[in-house]
Amino acid sequence: MKKINLDHQKTSLVTAQEFDSFAHELTPELKRINKILAQGYEAAYETAYASLNVPSDHAILESVQAVIESKKALEPSALVLVGIGGSNLGTIAVHEALNGLFYNEKNPTIKLYCADTVDTDKLNDQRLLVEQELKKGKNIILNVVTKSGSTTETIANFELFLNLLKKYKPDNYQSSVVVTTDKGSKFAAYAKGQKFSVLEIPPRVGGRYSIFTAVGLFPLGLLGINITQLCAGARDIMPQCVDMNVAKNPAATSALLKYILYQQHIMINDLFVFSTSLISFGLWYRQLMGESIGKEFNRNNQRVEVGITPTVSVGSTDLHSVGQLYLGGPRDKFTTFITVEQQKTDLKVPNMPEFEPFVAQIQGKKFSTIMDAILKGVQLAYANGQRPFNTVTLPVLDEATIGQLLQMYMVEMMYLGYLFDVNPFDQPNVESYKQETRRILENE
C-alpha cells in the first residue's frame, strides 16, 4: 500500500533546533497512546482515545456490511442522510473524494441527499426531490445519525423525511430506515421499538472521530465505497502515527509544526487542497480542528481561550480570490498544501495554435501538467516570500489513501490537544447554543 507523504523541510520555517526542542514534549502522550493500543481495541473503548482502534474492530465492519446488504436488496434510488457536523461531514468528504462531485461512478443509481440544516428552502427542495423518487414507486433509504438523539436540527429533519416515508410506504416504511446512534441511548431504544435497523456507535467515540464507525461506514458502503479498504488504510498508517521518533511520525510532526508556529503568533491554518474532490475533506478537517482545539478552558479548568483557526482554500480557484491576501497580507497563516500525484483522467488542452498569442505553452498539454506548474509556482512564491507551509502528497485518490489521511489527522488532533493542554474530545461551548435554542423554542 502506497503511503501519503508529508514534506516540511525548508518550507515550514521551523528550524531543526526548534523542532527538536519541542519534540520531547510529546513523549508522555506517545507512551500513553502506545500503551492503550497494546491493550487492544476493547480496552481502548474504555478511554477517551476510543476511536484509535475502531478501524481494527472487525465486528463493526461485519455488522455494517450486513445492514448494507439488506438495504441494497431494496434497490434504493436515493439515500437521505440526516445528521450534522461529525454525523455527516466525514461521509460527504469521502464520498466526494472517491465518487466525485457530480457523478457517482461506483454506484450511479443511488443519489445522496444530506439534510444537515433547518434552512427551510433547502429542506423543501430536498423534500421535493425525494418525493419525486417515492412517487415513481422507487425506494429510498433514510439514515439518521445522532449520538444522543437530542440535536434539534437532526430530529426535526428526521421527522420531515420519516413523515414522507410513512405517506408513500405506509405498510413497510420501517425497512427503509437506519438509525445510527450511541449504544444504549434512548434514541436506540426508540428505534428498536419502531423496528428500524439500528447501528450502534461506541459510546466514547466522539462524532468528529467517528468516520470509521457505522456513522461513516454504512452510508459510504451503500454508495459503493470499499469500506474494507478504507479501514485498511487507517490501520496501515497507525504504526507511523504512533512512532516514538517524532521526526518519522507524520501526525506528530504535523501537530508540532502547528504548535510551534502558534507560539510565534501564526494562528491560522489554511488547508489548501489542489483537488476539487477534496473540498469537503477540508470542511471535515475544519470541524475536527475547530472543535478539538478551540477551547475556553484547559484541562485544569484555567481560562486560556486557545485555538488555531482552520480555513479551507481550493487550488487553483482561490489563487484568484485570496491569493493576494496569502502572499501579501499578514504573516499569521501556516498553509498545508494537499495534492494528488495520479489523476483519474488524462484530459488535454486541444491543440489550437491560434490561442498561442493569448496564453503561450499550453497547447496540447495535460491539464494535470498545468495544475502541477501552478502548484509549484505558488509554492515557490510562498517560499520566496517566507510564508510557512508544508505539503501532503497523496499517491492517488482511493479508499486506502483517504483512510490514511483521515486517521493521520485525527491522531494529529490528539497530539495538538496534549500540546495545548486542552481536551480534544469534547465541545462544551457548543452546548450553550443548544441550551439557548431549546429555551427559545419553549417560549415560542
Catalytic residues: 291, 320, 434
Collapsing DSSP to helix, strand or coil, 271 comes out as strand
Closest CA to 160 of 118, 191, 223, 194: 118
* Chain centroid, CA 145 distance in Å: 15
Question: How would you classify the pairing of strands 140-145 and 177-182?
Answer: parallel
Question: Which residue type is seen at 212?
Answer: F
Cβ neighbourhood burial of 372 (10 Å; 0-12, 13-18, 19+) = middle
Collapsing DSSP to helix, strand or coil, 387 comes out as coil
Cβ neighbourhood burial of 357 (10 Å; 0-12, 13-18, 19+) = exposed
Q: Which residues of 36-60 are buried (b: 16+ CB within 10 A; e: fewer)?
A: bbeeebeebbebbbbbbbbbbbeeb
HEC readout, 406-419: HHHHHHHHHHHHHH
The torsion angles phi and psi of 171, rounded to 5 degrees, stand at: -90, -20
